[in-house]
A and B are shown apart, each in its own frame.
Chain A
Amino acid sequence: MKQPIYLDNNATTPLDPRVLEAMLPYFTEKFGNAASRNHAFGWVAEEGVDYAREQVAKLIGCTEKEIIFTSGATEADNLAIKGVFEMYKEKGNHIITAVTEHKAVLDTCKHLEKNGARVTYLGVKEDGLIDLAELEAAMTPETILVSIMYGNNEIGVIQPVKEISAIAHKHGALFMTDATQAVGKIPVDVNADGIDLMAFSAHKMYGPKGVGALYVRRKGPRVKVTAQMDGGGHERGMRSGTLNVPGIVGLGKACELCRLEMESETIRLSALRDKLESTLNKMEESYVNGNTQHRLPHVANISFKYVEGEGLMMAMSDLAVSSGSACTSASLEPSYVLKSLGLSDDLAHSSIRFGLGRFTTEAEIDQAIAVTEKAVNHLRELSPLWEMFKEGIDLSKIEWAEH
């Protein structure tokens, strides 16, 4: 079977062969436990981890001691939010986040609400950005944490992180960001951006799955989180558990490659993305979702009105993409991110997310354009809504039988 073209790099990215090469010795001859202080096996493994810590720190502009390795961004989100809530509960119980956050943040906040937290979920504007005035107004003396993502996973919009952290700090709160989609893709500097805690993951930047990190600021202010797992006191007591040495080495190498290649890669990817997006946006009744100025370079989220996303993906089986349509999940509810932009359900159902990556070629983009155009046209031929639209019938005036 011919492999489809992979355009779902927001879900995960393929492992870069250079990353794999760096990892391999740590599965076999360098198998030691990085916490073994008494013999060479442990020292070699620890050296690998230390080097990776430097590589990670360099990418985000922090010191090595501020990196806590985790199993991924979900764990890092949990550790940051629950850890801050427990550590700072004397100070207050209020957390501010946004409705477009990843479930790892939203569900963690929901969990804390059951344990006495008060959580404000900020809405977003039509372009997917939060309203800074609304954030300012939501701050209270009890606010201990503002958690707003850096770049959105579905639409790629980049939140005004610097401004958000300034507001949080002005009111004495910490600023945490889930930067899973941003780190490695765009310049992220924890000091310039005023970030106190930041979660990210290796597998979104051509590293392995199952490893990520939490940045925890050590100076100005010194931030502490309560550990969420009890054990050997690894990672400065904040995250117990034997270190995933090969994974961590892979994360380090992935960070280094992203740092070295970011500038040229951003230019290349945004040109390909813009070609894909502007061509498809020329089709009748197609709409680009989210802010197009403040956006990650490799994401395009487009709704093709009057066709349904899952049906569309089936016609695009030569492409591996994802849809905001209900049918892709068991819930039958379309994407909550798209709905929070004020998109009607039918447009949310009609959306396709294209996520380009390091290994995407121009030939693949050309083919993706051709496949998408053909699929959209095919499904519109089948669509009663398209026919009614063409006849000038106002679909909003029809009394649909909700089922």
Chain B
Amino acid sequence: MAYSEKVIDHYNNPRNVGTLNKDSKFVGTGLVGAPECGDVMRLQIEVGEDNVITDAKFKTFGCGSAIASSSLATEWLKGKTIDEALAIDNMDIVEELALPPVKIHCSVLAEDAIKSAINDYRVKNGLEAIALEKSHH
């Protein structure tokens, strides 16, 4: 299967690879997927004043599309408010990266990772977790 140019670009030059201090109360961490399934994403956000995401980092175990989806997600997250980040839909990722149907689950995982990171941040800061609707399109 041929990858789109955008997937190859994110794969070869992944943006925002790394680790934020998961113990900081300004940092939310989402760890989704399972090694048995061949995909694990860890996505972290650092939230500043006015609920704006000031930094985002990822590490992903998975195929090229999974790596590209999470790399793209960190790019989109920076500078967004939490509410804006919650509005990111997996199909936006599918469209941007031109993922084929068999790789849509990679984008679903990226969306789950974003929501999971936001929830981790919310819970740390005494807010209620948002119910995660499983976004299987």
A94 to chain B, nearest CB (A): 35
Contact between chains at B40 and A384 (CB < 8 Å): yes
Contact between chains at B17 and A310 (CB < 8 Å): no
Contact between chains at A402 and B41 (CB < 8 Å): no
Q: Contacts A311-B64, A314-B64 given: A384-B31 contact, CB under 8 Å?
A: yes
Stretch at the interface among B55-63, B76-84, B85-93, B121-129: B55-63
Q: Name the B residues within 8 Å of A401 (CB-CB).
A: 32-34
Contact between chains at A403 and B38 (CB < 8 Å): no
B21 to chain A, nearest CB (A): 13
Contact between chains at A403 and B59 (CB < 8 Å): no
Contact between chains at A385 and B38 (CB < 8 Å): no
Q: Is B67 an interface residue (CB 8 A)?
A: yes
CB closest residue in chain A, given B34 = A400
Contact between chains at A330 and B102 (CB < 8 Å): yes
Q: Name the B residues within 8 Å of A334 (CB-CB).
A: 38
Main secondary structure on A side of the interface with B = helix
Q: Is B105 an interface residue (CB 8 A)?
A: yes
A385 to B59, CA, bound (A): 9
Residue in A384, A398, A400 whose beta carbon sits within 8 Å of that of B60 in the complex: A384
Contact between chains at A345 and B36 (CB < 8 Å): yes
Chain B's interface size range is 20 to 34
Interface string of B12-32 (1 = CB under 8 A from A): 001001010000000000011
Q: Which of B19, B59, B63, B64 has the most CB of A within 10 A?
A: B63
A321 to B14, CA, bound (A): 23
Interface string of A355-394 (1 = CB under 8 A from B): 0000000000000000000000000011111110000000
Q: Name the A residues within 8 Å of B40 (CB-CB).
A: 383-385, 400
Q: Is A1 an interface residue (CB 8 A)?
A: no
Contact between chains at A385 and B61 (CB < 8 Å): yes
Contact between chains at A349 and B60 (CB < 8 Å): no
A273 to chain B, nearest CB (A): 27
Q: Contacts A308-B39, A345-B35 given: A381-B67 contact, CB under 8 Å?
A: no
A332 to chain B, nearest CB (A): 7
Q: Name the A residues within 8 Å of B60 (CB-CB).
A: 382-384
Q: Is A140 an interface residue (CB 8 A)?
A: no
Contact between chains at B59 and A384 (CB < 8 Å): yes
Q: Name the A residues within 8 Å of B63 (CB-CB).
A: 308, 310-311, 314, 325, 327
Q: Is A127 an interface residue (CB 8 A)?
A: no
B25 to chain A, nearest CB (A): 21
Q: Contacts A381-B17, A384-B41, A387-B19 given: A349-B35 contact, CB under 8 Å?
A: yes
A381 to B60, CA, bound (A): 9
A344 to B3, CA, bound (A): 28
A309 to B108, CA, bound (A): 20
CB closest residue in chain B, given A305 = B35
Q: Is B115 an interface residue (CB 8 A)?
A: no
Q: Name the A residues within 8 Å of B64 (CB-CB).
A: 310-311, 314
Contact between chains at B66 and A311 (CB < 8 Å): yes
Q: Is A307 an interface residue (CB 8 A)?
A: yes
Q: Is B131 an interface residue (CB 8 A)?
A: no
B72 to chain A, nearest CB (A): 14
B113 to chain A, nearest CB (A): 10
Q: Is A235 an interface residue (CB 8 A)?
A: no
Q: Is A346 an interface residue (CB 8 A)?
A: yes
Contact between chains at A383 and B61 (CB < 8 Å): yes
Contact between chains at A384 and B67 (CB < 8 Å): no
Q: Is B99 an interface residue (CB 8 A)?
A: no
A315 to B112, CA, bound (A): 26
Q: Is B109 an interface residue (CB 8 A)?
A: yes
CB closest residue in chain B, given A329 = B102
Q: Is A326 an interface residue (CB 8 A)?
A: yes
Q: Name the A residues within 8 Å of B19 (CB-CB).
A: 387
Contact between chains at A384 and B37 (CB < 8 Å): no
CB closest residue in chain A, given B103 = A327
A326 to B64, CA, bound (A): 13
CB closest residue in chain A, given B136 = A403
Q: Is A306 an interface residue (CB 8 A)?
A: yes
CB closest residue in chain B, given A381 = B17
CB closest residue in chain B, given A312 = B63
A403 to chain B, nearest CB (A): 6
Q: Is A40 an interface residue (CB 8 A)?
A: no
The 8 closest A-B pairs by CB, nearest first: A400-B34, A346-B35, A345-B36, A384-B42, A310-B63, A384-B59, A314-B64, A349-B38
A-B contact pairs, 8 of them (CB 8 A): A307-B61, A311-B67, A314-B64, A334-B38, A382-B59, A384-B59, A385-B35, A401-B33
Given A311-B67, A346-B35, A401-B32, 8 other A-B contacts at CB below 8 A?
A311-B61, A311-B64, A315-B11, A326-B38, A327-B63, A401-B33, A403-B32, A403-B37
Q: Footprint of B on A, CB under 8 Å?
A: 306-311, 314-315, 325-327, 330, 332, 334, 344-346, 349, 381-387, 395, 398, 400-403
